[in-house]
Structure 1
Amino acid sequence: MRRIISLLLTLIIIVTCSSCGFKKADNKPYSITFQCFDTICSITIYDKKPKKDLEKIANKLEKKCIHYDSLYNLDDSRYSVEFHHSDGSLTCIEDVHFSNKKNAMRTIGFGEEDEPLYDSIKYSKMTDGAFDVTIAPLVKLWNINGKDFKIPSDKQIKKQLKYVDYKQIDDSPGNYYVLTKMGSIDFGGIAKGFISDLLVTELKENKIKSALIDLGGNIYTYGKKNNSLFKVGIKKPFTNNELSATVKAKDKAIITAGIYQRYHKKDGKIYSHIINPKTGYPIDNDLNAVTVISDSGTAADALSTGFMVMGLKKGIALANKTKNIEAVFIDKDNNLHLTDGLKQDGKEITIK
């Protein structure tokens, strides 16, 4: 009897020590939600690391988002700008949206705030200006996101349109860019994608296995969710919660640009936040939305805007010939048009 009691006590001690000394790490997803980029953002991490470690990493990612948002926000610019006047004098200011001056040109250095500029020029060239990083004068003129919306006059649009042209950016000096027409830059069409790439790099450095990044609808599926592909819905334009399709993917940015996301409607006409850099007016073509799928959040963000401006025929043609780019185009009737590298089964879309 004593032997039985002794064995039972030994088993109790082993079980107790096992539960204390060898506690299995919490495998539940850790999620954080925060306000940034004028929208709601969330980051969900799937990893076996202790909760306190995941919390520390998630908070670091949030701070990175807030930091870069302060750099790239059109209304809170921190750019250092130099004006080289015709008389040889130099004026330095801290506002890239300073009023236009004659006989001057802007010099933008390669500081932290200018990091997306190289890629912005790249995709401006690739889309022949359908995505144009110098769109800022028109964005501010239309003020689609503002409360007091007013359609600008043709005269006002033409005045600002002359400052919108990515070809004005002269990078020949090698260590800085020059905006020769006194325009100004806007990273709004590329910043969230660019930042999602920075967050993925941070996740890799912290040896995180899997995460879902959602920067106001700009999605990055990092790794797999419990050994399965992430499922990301593509919203049906101008509906509340209906989906046009669901994309299954891993290690992909999935970013949508659409006229339904931010717009004003006046006299039955929709004025979208997506402005055609060549006409100066909000786009009015055969597309409601474009979702771009890519390894690069930067590419997906810029090209989703570029494809929207280009329209269905030109946009899908460019997408099909661009490496590591797939896209779902939604026309005015909400019909789907897929690039060659995608396959569809019902409402489910996967990469071939």
Structure 2
Amino acid sequence: MQRRTFISAAIGSVAGMAGLALPGSMARGTTAPSGMRLYRGAALAFGTTIAATVLHHDQRQAELAIEDALYAARKIDRLMSIYSPASQVFQLNRDGRLARPDSHLLAVLAQAQALSQWSDGAFDVTVQPLWQLCRAAADQANLPSDTQRRAAQARVGWRQLAWDQREVYFRQPGMALTLNGLAQGYAADMALAAVRARGVQHALLDTGEFMARGQRAMRQPWTLGIQDPRDGEILAATLKVEGRSVATSGDYACTFTPDFAHHHIFDPSRGDSPAELASATVLAPTGLLADGLSTTFMVTGAARAYAMAAQMRGVDLMTIDKLGRRRMSPGFPRIA
């Protein structure tokens, strides 16, 4: 999996991308008025560096919480990677059938199905054949032909993915799935559960998507900066995050053409990338939901995305279109 969100997490300011400690090490910040300190650890997962930052009064408990959080997130990566032969997703794509699916995999598939139903198929985890086709063509500096796209599109369809507690299988040969639009958000949820189990109430978890709880200091919320989709040195917005998860999907994270017209996000109904938005940032109660919605809204486009977001409690949205025009939902917590 490749990191899709390019959000800078600010422990002190939002001036740039956050620096991370070495895997397994802890970095302490200045003492907060409450007597607590910031502790931080990092590890490798999802093809990038993930991190956990906690505010706590006990160093040993903070270190254990960070260790547990990183372990929990890496476990999800090992389970759902499309690249690792040991992962259940890899085995399903290879064999077309998976026996004894892990409970975490079933939880993510249930969310995927719910999003697919709710969005009338705009979200679809079975778009992997389209990604494989476009990736292979891009490696040859080409675009797929219409015939090739139609052939790949015929192997896409969320209703053709069947599962229960005993097995997961494809109803049609040649199908494959990717959970890149859900797994990192779900990993953030699992990392949060791990730190809370250690009694830590103030934490920022970065798995490529972000989950924040509590505060980074007394009366100071966790603050995030969202990357401009066309300039990695510019922040498109700065926001405070209190008790929600943040996920961004964008056409710049993995692009097949220099004009960003063809990229890693696919509209299943078109067999190609959606044409309107450059990025969609979502705040939601859970990482799993924020992650899935950010992909969904890239596909639906802005008008439908804002109408859908308005129906959901605790969900806010910011979109940037291909012309650089920004729009935010009324509750989007941007810092002026």
For the aligned pair, the TM-score class normalised by the smaller chain equals: 0.7 to 0.9
Shift of 1:181: 2.1
When normalised by structure 2's length, the TM-score is: 0.81
1:162 paired with 2:171, answer no
1:281 paired with 2:272, answer yes
Paired residue for 2:7? none
Extract structure 1 runs of 4+ deviating beyond 6 A: none
Conserved 8 A contact 1:259-1:272: yes
Paired residue for 1:184? 176
> Which secondary structure state, in structure 2, belongs to the residue aligned with residue 97 of structure 1?
helix
Q: 1:219/1:145 Cα in 2 relative to 1: closer, same or farther (>3 Å)? A: farther
> Which secondary structure state, in structure 2, belongs to the residue aligned with residue 42 of structure 1?
strand
Conserved 8 A contact 1:145-1:262: no
Deviation sequence 1:143-176 (CA, Å, 0-9, x none): 28986654222222211211211122345x7754
Q: Counterparts of 2:41 and 2:267 in 1: how far apart (Å)?
A: 36
Greater CA drift, 67-76 or 178-187:
178-187
Paired residue for 1:41? 50
Instruction: Please show how residues 176-255 of structure 1 align to structure 2 within 5 Å.
Output: 176-182=167-173, 183-216=175-208, 218-227=209-218, 228-255=220-247
Paired residue for 1:319? 309
- Aligned match for 1:76, one of 84, 87, 92: 84
Conserved 8 A contact 2:92-2:169: no
Letter in 1 for 2:315: I
Conserved 8 A contact 2:279-2:298: yes
Shift of 1:260: 1.8
Paired residue for 2:28? none
Please say which structure displays the higher CA radius of gyration.
1
Greater CA drift, 318-327 or 188-197:
318-327
Q: 1:98/1:38 Cα in 2 relative to 1: closer, same or farther (>3 Å)? A: same
Paired residue for 1:95? 91
Q: Counterparts of 1:326 and 1:161 in 2: how far apart (Å)?
A: 31
Shift of 1:222: 1.6
Conserved 8 A contact 2:181-2:292: yes
> Which secondary structure state, in structure 2, belongs to the residue aligned with residue 342 of structure 1?
coil
Q: Counterparts of 2:287 and 2:272 in 1: how far apart (Å)?
A: 26
> Which secondary structure state, in structure 2, belongs to the residue aligned with residue 213 of structure 1?
strand
Q: Aligned residues: percent identity?
A: 23
Paired residue for 2:4? none
Conserved 8 A contact 1:220-1:254: yes
Q: Counterparts of 2:252 and 2:260 in 1: how far apart (Å)?
A: 12
Q: 1:80/1:162 Cα in 2 relative to 1: closer, same or farther (>3 Å)? A: same
Q: Counterparts of 1:149 and 1:201 in 2: how far apart (Å)?
A: 44
User: Using CA pairs below 8 Å that are at least 6 residues apart, which structure has the higher relative contact order?
Assistant: 2
Conserved 8 A contact 1:256-1:304: yes
Shift of 1:108: 5.7
Q: Counterparts of 1:307 and 1:330 in 2: how far apart (Å)?
A: 11
Q: Counterparts of 2:124 and 2:99 in 1: how far apart (Å)?
A: 17
Q: Counterparts of 1:247 and 1:316 in 2: how far apart (Å)?
A: 19
- Aligned match for 1:301, one of 291, 300, 312: 291
Conserved 8 A contact 1:231-1:246: yes
Superposed CA RMSD in Å reads 2.6
Q: Counterparts of 1:144 and 1:255 in 2: how far apart (Å)?
A: 28
Any stretches of 5+ residues in structure 2 without a counterpart?
Answer: 1-33
Q: 1:41/1:144 Cα in 2 relative to 1: closer, same or farther (>3 Å)? A: farther
Q: 1:64/1:291 Cα in 2 relative to 1: closer, same or farther (>3 Å)? A: same
Any stretches of 5+ residues in structure 1 without a counterpart?
Answer: 1-24, 82-93, 100-104
Conserved 8 A contact 1:144-1:262: no
Q: Counterparts of 2:315 and 2:99 in 1: how far apart (Å)?
A: 30
Deviation sequence 1:226-247 (CA, Å, 0-9, x none): 1322111121221132112111
Q: 1:28/1:146 Cα in 2 relative to 1: closer, same or farther (>3 Å)? A: farther
Paired residue for 1:53? 61
Q: Counterparts of 1:260 and 1:134 in 2: how far apart (Å)?
A: 21
Q: Counterparts of 1:147 and 1:247 in 2: how far apart (Å)?
A: 37
Q: 1:174/1:220 Cα in 2 relative to 1: closer, same or farther (>3 Å)? A: closer
1:64 paired with 2:72, answer yes
Greater CA drift, 149-158 or 296-305:
149-158
Conserved 8 A contact 2:69-2:190: no
> Which secondary structure state, in structure 1, belongs to the residue aligned with residue 144 of structure 2?
coil
Paired residue for 2:263? 272
- Aligned match for 1:328, one of 304, 318, 328: 318
